[in-house]
Amino acid sequence: MLSRRTLIFSGLSVAALGGAVYGLWPRLGKYWDEVERQRQLLSSNPELEGFVRMATLAANGHNSQPWKFRINPTDVSILPDFSRRTQVVDPDDHHLFVSLGCAAENFTIAAAAHGQTADVRVFGGGPETAVNIALQPGATQETSLYKAIPLRQSTRSDFDGKSVTAAEIDLLTAAAREDGVSVLIFTDTTQREAILEFVVEGNSAQMDDPAFVAELRQWLRFNPRQALATKDGLFSACTGNPVVPGWMGDAMFDVFFTKDGENDKYSKHIRSSAGIAVFIGDREDPEHWIKVGRSFQLFALQATVLGIRNAHLNMPIEVPSLRPEFARWLGIPDMRPDLIVRFGRAPALPMSLRRPVSEVVI
Ligand SMILES: Cc1cc2nc3c(=O)[nH]c(=O)nc-3n(C[C@H](O)[C@H](O)[C@H](O)COP(=O)(O)O)c2cc1C
């Protein structure tokens, strides 16, 4: 059973967070207004569309938002949107189904906060796999995890180099508990250095692959105008990078996005983190990838409650030739490690945007 216990909520509102971050990115203008508009908690007695909006605030690969929502009177299905797949980095749609799980978890937490108990079922199978969430009136659970939904983000900056407490790690792993998913935590320097070696090897393989770089390039947004036009993808301010005109972004990408530069960045990222969490599903199928997504989303929300940030470093599990070696290092040679996530403390970066509910409802 999932633990909904949480400790000390950081008490930040999106407005406060926006204000603090605004000082660093003063020229984002209308971008802030859109973030503020998208990241409101729901008013009382929300329509099902409200729960869908909260679901879309979930983590998802490349911010591709690879989901569609079918709304019925008392249930909602979350379906894969294969038109948004990232076939080079994610050829078997693993990340796509993990992303559906992240969205499903936000949906159920938002529903519970408004007195709706969610019965989550995975149906279909293979590429047809999807999630159905049936709702019925229940106890209202307006938890700190719910309030953390608009505040959670992937923070791809250096962290502060400090440890987090054992009690905090216990809370993170308790929150992430999900049938069929294990979470391994690595805080020891030797272990983190070993994972760094895998990350550098994986990143080097990806940077040497022109198809990987071309696909990533398609999802980059270099300025607020580009980010606001699509409301998806990876906006440079959200990754701690400068905001520049599109033409300059293209040129800078070619000059500054280098294998050595990226490997140095990831070394600093890992060395300044408090630890690394690895998520592992019991089986290698879309049903378990959805479970992994639910588990990760809970972990990330609980981290947000504790003022702990997180960011993915999935290269060793994305590069197919490296994944078995990483699994052997983990001591699970016959299983597939699903996600690699560092955590620690750092200031917030700007929040990423989402497409409106009207664009994801079918
Ligand atoms: C399955 C999955 C894989 C991801 N892989 C990476 C990754 O390798 N590197 C990274 O920086 N972020 C990764 N992310 C984070 C997403 O890019 C991020 O969730 C998305 O851009 C939305 O931003 P947000 O999390 O700040 O809301 C991943 C997220 C998911 C759910």
User: Which of 125-129, 174-178, 256-260 has maximum average pLDDT?
Assistant: 174-178
Beta-ladder partners of 132: 77, 121
Residue 277 backbone dihedrals phi, psi, to 5 degrees: -110, 135
Residue 164: CATH number of its domain: 3.40.109.10
CA-nearest residue, atom 1 of ligand 1: 95
Establish whether residue 220 lines the binding site of ligand 1, counting it when its CB lies within 6 angstroms of any ligand atom. no
Residue 21's pLDDT is what?
53
User: What does the pLDDT look like over 108-132, one tens digit per residue?
Assistant: 999 999 999 999 999 998 889 999 9
* Count: domains in the chain: 1
Tell me the pLDDT band of 17, cut-offs 50, 70 and 90: low
User: Is 241 contained in some domain?
Assistant: no
* H helices present in 23-93, as ranges: 30-38, 48-56
User: Is 218 contained in some domain?
Assistant: no
CA-wise closest residue to 360 among 40, 84, 33, 37: 84
Indicate the top mutation candidate among 94, 159, 314 to test ligand 1's pocket, ranked by most ligand atoms within 8 A of CB: 314
User: Is 9 contained in some domain?
Assistant: no
Q: Who wins on pLDDT, 14 or 65? A: 65
CA-wise closest residue to 16 among 347, 327, 249: 347
User: Is 99 contained in some domain?
Assistant: yes
User: Is 129 contained in some domain?
Assistant: yes
Containing structural domain, residue 274 = 14-193+269-360
CA angle 227, 28, 96 (to 5 degrees): 30
- Report CA(60)–ligand 1 centroid distance (Å): 5
Establish whether residue 352 lines the binding site of ligand 1, counting it when its CB lies within 6 angstroms of any ligand atom. yes
User: Is 55 contained in some domain?
Assistant: yes
CA-nearest residue, atom 11 of ligand 1: 312
CB 104 within 8 A of CB 134: no
Establish whether residue 227 lines the binding site of ligand 1, counting it when its CB lies within 6 angstroms of any ligand atom. no
CA distance linking residue 36 with residue 51, whole number of Å:
17
| Strands 234-235 and 220-221, sheet pairing | parallel
Task: Report long-range pairs for 83-88 (Cβ below 8 Å, ≥24 apart).
Answer: 86/61, 86/62, 86/215, 86/219, 87/215, 88/209, 88/211, 88/212, 88/214, 88/215
The answer, yes or no, to whether residue 248 has pLDDT greater than 90, is no
Which of 7-16, 162-171, 256-265 is least confident?
7-16
CA-nearest residue, atom 7 of ligand 1: 312
User: Is 1 contained in some domain?
Assistant: no
pTM of the model: 0.94
CA-nearest residue, atom 17 of ligand 1: 62
